[in-house]
């Protein structure tokens, strides 16, 4: 055991404890906290963020990290300790360059901005949110300027924080390939779309029955209720304290069968990732999922690749029909499979089907690039947003509520985050292409035994926490780094077959 690392440990433990407290406040704000709490709670959270900053950014930690990074000291470290030092160095470099008072002010702004955005969205009033968004963009650009590496754009810096090493030069061709494949495929799909009737989805599904079925689905895919809980929030999400406390939320609509079912499978995929992190890593700086993109690959693997497949529903469709005998009386399994995969271009990202989804992300990627490079201003957003939706998806949002105000991300200061959704889809397809060689996926699904699939993902991804980045995991698992061709191949094959399109 390295004596220096032992001296670093109390600082790590303190940082971890404060982070856990902040996570719990976030969870509480989204699930149970009363509406009037936010402004005062924002002060508490601002203070805690300041404490986190001081626990992590100080002379002792800086000295210890510098000493631990020398070749002689590195040799004394275990692999986990090396990964922790590497991660801390990265975080340290970023935080150290941002003045403490600016960091704390930004955190406070974010807690308030969530409410301002929510109200502006409710009232369909972009101008009520624009000044706050302007402030957030200014902060993020300034922070990116502080931490920018040579040769990187400001937006590259933001992208790199979300997905290490994935920059504009990687994402431009990535989205170009998606656009070239998906836009014409969608056109062919739309010509055949009136044959699919999914009106069953909007019949009346009592919420208490939905809740019971969703709990069953979570358990079915392997969510461990001894190590996890479920609650309700405006938008479903997953959070965790460590690998034995993983929390997911859901949102129920009486007249929408699919929404909550696929949300619980999606969040369940995120949760399985966090529950699968090795015990020796959890509660350390490398104890969580490695990136947003890899996290989304797990949630989308479960939601789309498994959850929307025929094989997945083979052992389950009977139970679904028993659960809703009247609502689904005239629906056959094949109608249901077509229904849950129906492609319908619409204005709302979170309601998008698997085929149009990446186009929603492309709109946001292009807009963020323009905004962060200063080519457009916050006030231009509603118009550009609507133009791009028309261009790629052929739809024009009725108003800003279903247009530029729809997503929470920018109010939370997240720029460079959206691409991780598309990256996640692509990673999921790449994993799927290789998993077949080792696991009989269809057989597992058809017999209702998902354990081998979960174990395979745990062995190759979950257990590592964030000791490896996305491309390191992919190379270890599939022999190559991120390759969007698998995703395009998957979408093309799936939709060509579902819609009987001649190739
Ligand atoms: Zn997700």
Q: Is 154 a member of any domain?
A: no
**Residue the block writes with tokens 């304290």:** 241
DSSP reduced 3-state for 482 = coil
* 343 Ramachandran zone, left/alpha/beta (phi>0; psi -120 to 50): beta
pTM: 0.93
Total count of domains within the chain:
2
- Does residue 86 sit in the same domain as residue 20? yes
- Beta strand 228-232 with 238-242: parallel, antiparallel or unpaired? unpaired
> Residue 59 belongs to what domain range?
3-147
**Cα 266 to averaged position of ligand 1 atoms, centre (Å):** 6
Q: Is 160 a member of any domain?
A: no
Residues pairing with 245 in the sheet: 242
Q: How confident is the model at residue 341 (pLDDT cuts 50, 70, 90)?
A: very high
Clarify whether 267 is annotated catalytic.
yes
- Does residue 241 sit in the same domain as residue 323? yes
pLDDT, tens digit, for every residue of 433-473? 999 999 999 999 999 999 999 999 999 999 999 999 999 99
- Does residue 123 sit in the same domain as residue 185? no
Q: Is 183 a member of any domain?
A: yes
User: For residue 375, with 0-12 CB atoms within 10 Å meaning exposed, 13-18 middle and 19 or more buried, which class applies?
Assistant: exposed
pLDDT, tens digit, for every residue of 51-80? 998 898 889 999 999 999 999 999 999 999
Higher pLDDT, 95 or 173: 173
> Residue 503's pLDDT is what?
63
Closest listed residue to residue 217, CA positions, set 178, 272, 141, 176: 272
- Does residue 437 sit in the same domain as residue 318? yes
Q: What average pLDDT does range 390-403 have in this prediction?
A: 95
Q: What average pLDDT does range 307-311 have in this prediction?
A: 97
Q: Is 228 a member of any domain?
A: yes
**Residue the block writes with tokens 């922790």:** 84
The answer to whether 154 touches 148, Cβ cutoff 8 Å, is yes
| End-of-domain residue from the set 117, 147, 177 | 147
> Residue 147's pLDDT is what?
92
Alpha-carbon torsion (351, 110, 388, 152), positive or negative: negative
**Cα 237 to averaged position of ligand 1 atoms, centre (Å):** 7
Q: Output the six-digit token pair for 158.
A: 């933001």
Residue of 30, 81, 163, 267 marked catalytic: 267
Whether residue 335 is predicted with pLDDT greater than 80 in this model: the reply is: yes
Q: What average pLDDT does range 362-366 have in this prediction?
A: 97
Closest listed residue to residue 477, CA positions, set 420, 425, 440, 428: 428
- Does residue 288 sit in the same domain as residue 356? yes
Secondary element (H or E) of residue 60: helix 59-68
Closest listed residue to residue 345, CA positions, set 190, 170, 141, 450: 190
The answer to whether 100 touches 88, Cβ cutoff 8 Å, is no
Q: H helices then E strands: how many in the chain? A: 22, 3
Q: Output the six-digit token pair for 67.
A: 């000493």
Report DSSP state, residue 241: E
**Cα 417 to averaged position of ligand 1 atoms, centre (Å):** 11
3-state helix, strand, coil in the chain (%, to 5): 65, 5, 30
**Cα 267 to averaged position of ligand 1 atoms, centre (Å):** 6
For 304-338, the DSSP string reads IIITTSHHHHTTTHHHHHHHSTTTTTT--HHHHHH
Q: What average pLDDT does range 158-174 have in this prediction?
A: 95
| End-of-domain residue from the set 98, 117, 147 | 147
- Does residue 274 sit in the same domain as residue 420? yes
**Cα 5 to averaged position of ligand 1 atoms, centre (Å):** 35
DSSP reduced 3-state for 229 = strand
- Does residue 129 sit in the same domain as residue 181? no
Closest listed residue to residue 301, CA positions, set 289, 309, 292: 309
- In Å, how far are 15, 70, 79, 81, 285 from 76, measured between CA atoms? 23, 10, 10, 9, 19
pLDDT, mean over the chain: 95
- Does residue 172 sit in the same domain as residue 143? no
- Does residue 236 sit in the same domain as residue 203? yes
- Does residue 52 sit in the same domain as residue 200? no
**Cα 401 to averaged position of ligand 1 atoms, centre (Å):** 21
> Residue 70's pLDDT is what?
95
- Here the CATH number for the domain that contains residue 490 is 1.10.1370.30
Q: What percentage of residues in the chain have a pLDDT greater than 70?
A: 100
pLDDT, tens digit, for every residue of 16-63? 999 999 999 999 999 999 989 988 998 899 899 889 988 988 899 999
Q: Is 153 a member of any domain?
A: no
- Does residue 138 sit in the same domain as residue 173? no
Q: Is 303 a member of any domain?
A: yes
The answer to whether 159 touches 168, Cβ cutoff 8 Å, is yes
Sheet bearing 238-242, strands edge to edge: 228-232, 245-250, 238-242
Q: What average pLDDT does range 205-210 have in this prediction?
A: 98
Q: What average pLDDT does range 282-293 have in this prediction?
A: 95
> Residue 374's pLDDT is what?
96
Q: Is 467 a member of any domain?
A: yes
pLDDT, tens digit, for every residue of 147-156? 999 999 999 9
- Does residue 136 sit in the same domain as residue 269? no
**Cα 360 to averaged position of ligand 1 atoms, centre (Å):** 15
pLDDT, tens digit, for every residue of 410-440? 999 999 999 999 999 999 999 999 999 999 9
The answer to whether 471 touches 482, Cβ cutoff 8 Å, is yes
Q: Is 468 a member of any domain?
A: yes
């Amino acid at each position: 055991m390295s004596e220096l690392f032992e001296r670093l440990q109390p600082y790590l433990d303190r940082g971890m404890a404060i982070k856990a407290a902040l996570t719990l406040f976030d969870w509480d704000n989204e699930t149970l906290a009363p509406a009037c709490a936010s402004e005062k709670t924002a002060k508490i959270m601002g203070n805690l963020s300041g404490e986190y900053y001081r626990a992590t950014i100080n002379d002792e930690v800086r000295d210890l990290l510098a000493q631990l990074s020398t070749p002689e000291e590195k040799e004394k470290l275990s692999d986990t300790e090396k990964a922790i030092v590497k991660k801390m160095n990265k975080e340290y470099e970023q935080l150290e360059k941002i003045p403490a008072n600016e960091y704390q002010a930004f955190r406070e702004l974010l807690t308030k901005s969530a409410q301002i955005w929510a109200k502006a969205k409710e009232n369909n009033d972009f101008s009520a949110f624009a000044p706050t968004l302007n402030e957030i963009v200014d902060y993020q650009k300034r922070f990116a300027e502080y931490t920018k590496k040579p040769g990187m754009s400001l937006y590259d810096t933001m992208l790199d924080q979300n997905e290490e090493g994935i920059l504009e030069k990687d994402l431009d061709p990535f989205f170009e390939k998606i656009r070239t494949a998906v836009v014409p495929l969608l056109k062919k799909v739309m010509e055949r779309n009136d044959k699919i009737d999914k009106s069953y989805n909007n019949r009346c599904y009592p919420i208490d029955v939905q809740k019971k079925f969703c709990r069953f689905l979570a358990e079915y895919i392997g969510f461990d209720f001894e190590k996890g809980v479920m609650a309700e929030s405006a938008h479903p999400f997953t959070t965790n304290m460590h690998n034995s406390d993983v929390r997911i939320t859901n949102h129920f609509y009486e007249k929408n069968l699919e929404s909550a079912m696929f949300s619980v499978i999606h969040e369940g995929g995120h949760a399985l990732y966090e529950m699968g992190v090795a015990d020796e890593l959890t509660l350390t700086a490398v104890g969580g999922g490695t990136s947003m993109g890899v996290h989304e690959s797990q949630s989308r693997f479960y939601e789309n690749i498994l959850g929307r497949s025929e094989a997945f529903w083979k052992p389950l469709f009977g139970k679904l029909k028993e659960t809703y005998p009247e609502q689904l009386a005239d629906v056959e399994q094949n109608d249901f499979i077509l229904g849950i995969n129906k492609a319908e271009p619409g204005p709302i990202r979170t309601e998008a089907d698997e085929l149009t989804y990446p186009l929603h992300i492309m709109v946001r990627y292009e807009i963020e690039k323009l905004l962060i490079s200063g080519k457009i201003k916050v006030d231009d957003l509603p118009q550009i947003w609507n133009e791009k939706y028309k261009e790629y998806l052929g739809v024009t949002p009725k108003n800003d509520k279903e247009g530029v105000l729809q997503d929470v991300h920018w109010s939370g200061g997240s720029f460079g985050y959206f691409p991780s959704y598309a990256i996640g889809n692509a990673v999921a397809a790449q994993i799927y292409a290789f998993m077949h060689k080792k696991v009989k996926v269809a057989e597992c699904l058809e017999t209702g035994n998902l354990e081998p699939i979960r174990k395979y993902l745990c062995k190759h991804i979950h257990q590592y926490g964030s000791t490896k980045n996305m491309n390191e995991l992919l190379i270890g698992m599939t022999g190559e780094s991120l390759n969007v061709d698998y995703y395009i191949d998957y979408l093309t094959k799936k939709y060509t077959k579902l819609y009987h399109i001649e190739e």
